[in-house]
Amino acid sequence: MINRHRVQALMRKDWRELARNKQVIAPLVIVPLMFVVIIPAAVLLLGNNSAALTTTVAGLQGFLDNLPEQALPAGYSSGQLMVYAVIVYFMAPFFLLIPVIVASLTASSSFVGEKERGTIEGLLYTPLTDRELVLGKVLASVIPSVLLTWASFLVYTVLVNTLGAALMGGVFFPTWTWAIIILALAPLVAFLATCLIVAISGRSTTMQGAQGTVVLIVVPVLALIAGQATGLMLFDTLIAGVAAAALLVIDVAVFVTVAGRFRREPIVTRL
């Protein structure tokens, strides 16, 4: 039986340490800012200039060439269709990259960071069970990454509807697919990435080594972005729903495996 109070105490401790780490806080602001403000603002401001827009956004022309006509609403002009395609489809996978990046920054220091701060021995000798220790470390990274993703989505929604209302003839965002992406896919991707990162962190001896290995976890998300950018794999409601169901099963399996294989004695010996 997992003791909720012990897990929450561990999470609060990790959040206090995270708030004091300026090297982690800065990227948590910069990365969402680029995806949520800079790119969509440029797209909407260049909405009536198709040539400038396809030149500015890398891979956009290939994406538009492969985008099925049925994916776009009828009655839009060419400029409106381009803006809709970018805001609704092209940008969707980037909102799965945000929780992965946040998790990689916070979770990669879970056990290695404790060692570098000289607190690992005290943590491993607490009454926390192995499963509680893993769960506390995972949730301490998942919750901030999901909240930051949701906050980024709210900013993105307000921004695109404010800047795009005149061009698009009113509010046009979000869609049902985005609801699934933000409410289901983002938390599930964050949980999966964090479980794997915590497992890696437990086997690493330095922060640099843990963060270097984390790149392997980011690669599948980057591949997803590349597939979306070329139009080869388009997020729609069906695909997003199937992906969420599959990820839920994978998340449970991965957490059970990571928690089941976690042993604090080798960490004490290694660190």
What is the pLDDT, as a whole number, of residue 215? 61
**Residue pLDDT, tens place only, 197-218:** 877 766 655 555 555 555 666 6
Nearest Cα to 108, choosing from 13, 16, 6, 24? 24
Averaged over successive runs of 10 residues, the pLDDT of the chain (271 residues) comes to 82 80 74 83 75 63 72 80 85 85 74 64 72 86 91 94 88 90 91 82 57 62 63 72 90 89 64 49
At 183 the pLDDT is 94
Per-residue pLDDT, 149? 92
pLDDT at 232: 52
* pLDDT score recorded for residue 110: 65
pLDDT value of residue 115: 64
